[in-house]
């Protein structure tokens, strides 16, 4: 039976994404393999990927879209460390009105992580990304697909439209682009942060966001 080109793309994109993730981390079932701690960051990698880090129009932005300091976060909604660092990151944004936070969906931990990433990006089409993102970050219950859509409904998303938008090829393409970008930066775990021109390599619990923001701003002040 013949099929149109857009239908063919939709049927192949999940396979492409699954293949990409398997190539990185090995078989994804029944559990994700532990990934190695990356070597010390090379700032040259940030320079080489600056446009993809800062100028991707499909990446959500929180804070000042024209801020003089940019933080890029690679995160997974199933990551407890991402959720633990979130309040301090939010405090830093509230305390400094000139910081731009760019969020990169990086669903590496569970199959549900991929569902959440697609739903999160799709929520932008209903102009409820921030509400949904904050709600998923605050969620502490059993991590199941039903919880993702229950949370979406609680923040006012139309689930029929959300599921339709999640299937858009652009959503899968954005996640693949994030995987390729993370690989180029040698970010293999979550959360992964780039502050200014520096990749952070220490434990997320030890990140001092105000100090790092000040340091990033200093060369330009």
Backbone dihedral angles phi then psi of residue 56, each to the nearest 5 degrees? -75, 115
| Percent composition of the chain: helix, strand, coil (DSSP 3-state, to 5) | 55, 10, 35
For 5-220, CATH gives 3.40.30.10
pLDDT in tens, the chain (221 residues): 444 443 434 444 555 555 555 555 444 433 443 444 444 444 889 999 999 999 999 999 999 999 999 999 999 999 999 999 999 999 999 999 999 999 999 999 999 999 999 999 999 999 999 999 999 999 999 999 999 999 999 999 999 999 999 999 999 999 999 999 999 999 999 999 999 999 998 899 999 999 999 999 886 65
As a whole number of angstroms, the distance between CA 141 and CA 45 comes to 37
Contact by Cβ (8 Å): 143, 114: no
Q: Which residues pair with 75 in a beta bridge?
A: 105
CB within 8 A of 221, min separation 6: which ones? none
Provide the residue ranges of all domains of the chain, joining segments of one domain with +.
Answer: 5-220
> pTM for this structure?
0.81
151-190 pLDDT per residue, tens: 999 999 999 999 999 999 999 999 999 999 999 999 999 9
**N-term to C-term CA, the chain:** 63
CA distance 221 to 205: 28
């Amino acid at each position: 039976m013949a099929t149109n080109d857009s239908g063919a793309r939709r049927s192949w994109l999940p396979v492409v994404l699954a293949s990409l993730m398997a190539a990185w981390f090995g078989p994804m079932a029944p559990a994700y393999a532990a990934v190695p701690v990356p070597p010390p960051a090379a700032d040259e990698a940030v320079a080489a990927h600056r446009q993809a880090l800062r100028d991707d129009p499909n990446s959500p932005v929180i804070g000042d879209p024209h801020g003089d300091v940019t933080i890029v976060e690679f995160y997974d909604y199933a990551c407890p460390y991402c959720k633990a660092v979130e309040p301090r990151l939010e405090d830093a944004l509230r305390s400094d009105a000139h910081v731009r936070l760019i969020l990169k969906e990086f669903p590496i931990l569970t199959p549900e992580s991929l569902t959440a990433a697609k739903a999160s990006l799709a929520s932008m089409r209903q102009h409820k990304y921030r509400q949904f993102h904050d709600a998923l970050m605050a969620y502490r219950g059993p991590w199941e697909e039903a919880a993702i859509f229950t949370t979406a409904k609680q923040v006012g998303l139309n689930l029929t439209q959300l599921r339709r938008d999640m299937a858009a090829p652009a959503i899968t393409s954005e996640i693949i682009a994030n995987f390729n970008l993370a690989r180029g930066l040698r970010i293999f775990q979550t959360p992964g942060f780039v502050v200014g021109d520096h990749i952070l390599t220490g434990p997320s619990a030890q990140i001092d966001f105000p100090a790092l923001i000040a340091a990033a701003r200093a060369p330009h002040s």
